[in-house]
Amino acid sequence: MILALERAEVDEDVLSQCRGEYVPGASAIACVNPGIYHWRQLGTRSLNGVIGDASTASAEKGERLLEAIAAKVAGALRAPALWDTPI
C-alpha cells in the first residue's frame, strides 16, 4: 500500500529481504465485520515489524488493497452495531 501511496519512500531493493510471520490474537469488534480490529501496536502482531512477504508487493496490488479496505471501512461505519455495541 505504501508503494501505491508514497513509492519514493520504499527501498525496493530490500523488499525481498522483508518477511515476517503474523502473530494471531487481535480481537475484532463484536458484531461488526471480523476484519475490523481495535488498534494495536504492530509489535503485538509481528515480531520484526513485517507481516507477510514484501517481495510480492506492487503499487498495483497496493491500490487494489486500498480500494478494498476503503469499501470495507465505509461498510463498517454504516453498520449500526459499530455505534450501538459497547467495546
- By the 8 A CB rule, do 55 and 18 touch? yes
pLDDT at 31: 58
Please tell me the predicted confidence (pLDDT) of residue 37: 59
Grouping H, G, I as helix, E, B as strand and the rest as coil, residue 87 is coil
Q: Please give the pLDDT value at position 28.
A: 52
Round to whole Å and give the CA distance between 58 and 79.
Answer: 32
- Dist CA 29 CA 47 (whole Å): 23
CA 9 to chain centroid, in Å, comes to: 18
Q: What is the pLDDT of residues 31-78, one digit of tens each?
A: 555 666 566 677 777 777 788 888 899 999 999 999 999 998 899 889
Q: In angstroms, rounded to a whole number, what is the distance separating the alpha carbons of residues 87 and 85?
A: 6
- Residue 52 has what pLDDT? 84
Cα–Cα distance for residue pair 48/20, rounded to 1 Å: 6
